[in-house]
Amino acid sequence: MPFIKIFIHIVFSTTNRIPFLNTLDLRVKFWKHIKENASEKGIFIDMINGYSEHCHCLISLSSNQNIEKIVQLIKGESSHWINKNYLTNKKFSWQDEYFAVSVSESMIDSVRNYIKNQEKHHQKKTFAEEYQEFIEKYDFKM
């Protein structure tokens, strides 16, 4: 049996950054559903949170998983679930794009805190500003 510890911080947004997840109650319910459903599929989400138009996940990969498939499963099932339960006024969907960066063992707690404090964080900074910071911090080429 392989012993693997690879953490990935994944961020994805709603289509056109529409603030579908506009109440704390809806977000709490949605993040809980995503985490439980992922667990049933063998995906370990260490931490999940977000704001009205985006989601952050700290995920631990196992030996038979890849980032693209995990993101596809999470986004596909969660958008199906939210639409099936009519939890938003319009048809919910995620953007195709996403960020994914590796997280070193020494930074796990810092990333957990960052994800956990999304509500407070976005009282000061928009997702557009956060998005631009990710682009610059991780030197993504657009």
The pLDDT profile of the chain, 142 residues, written as one tens digit per residue, is 678 889 999 999 999 999 999 999 999 999 999 999 999 999 999 999 999 999 999 999 998 999 999 999 999 999 999 999 999 999 999 999 999 999 999 999 999 999 999 988 888 888 888 888 878 887 877 6
Q: CA-to-CA distance for 86 and 128, rounded, in angstroms?
A: 27
CATH of residue 109's domain is 3.30.70.1290
Do residues 78 and 30 make contact, with C-beta atoms less than 8 angstroms apart? yes
Q: What is the pLDDT of residue 47?
A: 97
Q: Which of 93, 11, 3 is nearest to 57 (CA)?
A: 11
Q: CA-to-CA distance for 80 and 2, rounded, in angstroms?
A: 34
Task: Give a yes or no: residue 116 inside a domain.
Answer: yes
Task: Give a yes or no: residue 22 inside a domain.
Answer: yes
Strand partners, 102: 8
Q: What is the pLDDT of residue 120?
A: 87
Structure tokens at 78: 């969660």
Q: What is the pLDDT of residue 67?
A: 96
Count the Cβ atoms, other than its own, within 10 Å of residue 26: 15
Task: Give a yes or no: residue 1 inside a domain.
Answer: no
Do residues 13 and 54 make contact, with C-beta atoms less than 8 angstroms apart? yes
Task: Give a yes or no: residue 41 inside a domain.
Answer: yes
Structure tokens at 94: 């995620």
Q: What is the pLDDT of residue 111?
A: 96
pTM score of the predicted model: 0.90
What residue numbers bound the domain in which 54 lies? 6-137
Residue 1 parent element (H or E): none
Amino acid (one-letter) located at 72: Q
Count of domains observed in the chain: 1
Angle between helices 24-40 and 67-84 (to 10 degrees): 130
Structure tokens at 116: 């956990």
Task: Give a yes or no: residue 68 inside a domain.
Answer: yes
Task: Give a yes or no: residue 36 inside a domain.
Answer: yes
Task: Give a yes or no: residue 142 inside a domain.
Answer: no
